[in-house]
Chains A and B, each alone.
Chain A
């Protein structure tokens, strides 16, 4: 029971340590930028492909159902864009990042733990949280927001193709921002910030807990993906409920 409690507390402890070490970013901004490039490089194609198909399917289903229920397709575009910004965009982008970036962070840190590099850092008076976690944390937070915007654009692009070519909706009617309130952008941004914090912390925590050679790194990576993905779902639920109750 005690071990379980420590396990559940560990990510929060790491989050606290990371936030405390944030001021060091001033010195290590080059590593932050490097991390951002790594995250971006790793994820851009992946997000583009998945979000494109997401856009295609959302518009397909939306228009198909609208055709069946009420033969009016004029609202499809604006509802699609609104829900992309507020709901599907942040969630799906975050789930993709949880798999790509979360696994990446856990694999990197995990293999450093099992080869004693983290201990070598401690002996040379380097704080592993400051040196390893903080740059990845800041990079992930910023890139989640950037990739959310990118993902939404890709999905809207793909969805527009589907809406105009397959269902014959007028471009002007489809590309309407009438379904997107500032509150939607705000909620989407809040979700991205929450996801961008949860993913690197949970993945780093899994990586640090790796033990036992290559196998240990594999398990740490698996744990990171599952924990990060589940956290995204739970946080999504919490923020959506908060947003509804607060009337945003």
Chain B
């Protein structure tokens, strides 16, 4: 089976600290993957490497079957057109309306679709995150949960093959969090893409994810199903996959 994304022996040093230390990650296509692990352990960095925003100092990154060359601008463009990302602090453009934010990935494409098609797809995207009338509002006018849904809509609107979520539920109340995770499951089911979610919320991840990867100290110390992880010999893996046994 062809992996949709592979990171092999990736090493990265930032500001004098080695933040990725021989990280290995293989993602099977069409599934929802979970990235779990301690804060600062490398989850966000791995997502950024997958999004081609960061290039490791050593090691290889392959996306959609081709090796990523950070110096090849055109190749990067083509890759990025197939990737969507929701950032940890949302990164919604505060100088654009909600509709313009969601339509941004469509409009900035080299061959953008005609304006009425963009408007239709934006409307559909907003409807799918249950914010049908929010288009003309400013981003600042929405609550945290609603902003998060806009970020999800923006990440998914261009129907990317690889969809990345960095802490989709940070700081939200439990009801909204459940809705966001359900939304992620919906998007994957409708668009058939590959999804990667970095989060601390094991219970909610367990409801939608099939593959789990534990990231600790800049390396991926486990990749597999949740059941295998919970039965692992490595106490750290068990700890991050089953919070109830933290003191075991």
Tell me the A residues contacting B by CB distance below 8 Å. 115-117, 119-120, 122-126
Contact = CB atoms under 8 A, between A and B. Distances in A.
B53 interface: yes
Given A124-B104, A124-B105, A126-B108, A117 B94 contact: yes
Given A124-B80, A125-B80, A125-B81, A119 B108 contact: no
A119 B94 contact: no
B87 A116 contact: yes
B83 interface: yes
Contacts of A122: 53, 80
Interface string B187-218: 00000000000000000000000000000000
Nearest to B105: A124
B29 to A, nearest CB: 20
A120 B80 contact: no
Contacts of A117: 91-94
Nearest to B164: A123
Contacts of A123: 51-53, 80, 83-85
14 contacts: A115-B90, A115-B91, A116-B87, A117-B92, A119-B48, A123-B53, A123-B83, A123-B85, A124-B105, A124-B108, A125-B77, A125-B81, A125-B108, A126-B108
Contacts of B52: 123
A120 B91 contact: yes
B88 A116 contact: yes
B91 A116 contact: yes
B158 to A, nearest CB: 8
Interface in B84-114: 84-85, 87-94, 104-105, 108-110
A116 B154 CA distance: 15
Nearest to B157: A124
A22 to B, nearest CB: 18
Interface in B43-94: 48, 51-53, 77, 80-81, 83-85, 87-94
B81 A115 contact: no
Contacts of B94: 115, 117
Interface in B104-143: 104-105, 108-110
A116 B80 contact: no
A122 B84 CA distance: 11
B202 to A, nearest CB: 25
Nearest to A34: B95
Contacts of A125: 77, 80-81, 105, 108-110
Nearest to B88: A116
B105 A116 contact: no
A125 B107 CA distance: 10
Closest 4 CB pairs of A and B: A116-B91, A120-B91, A124-B105, A126-B108
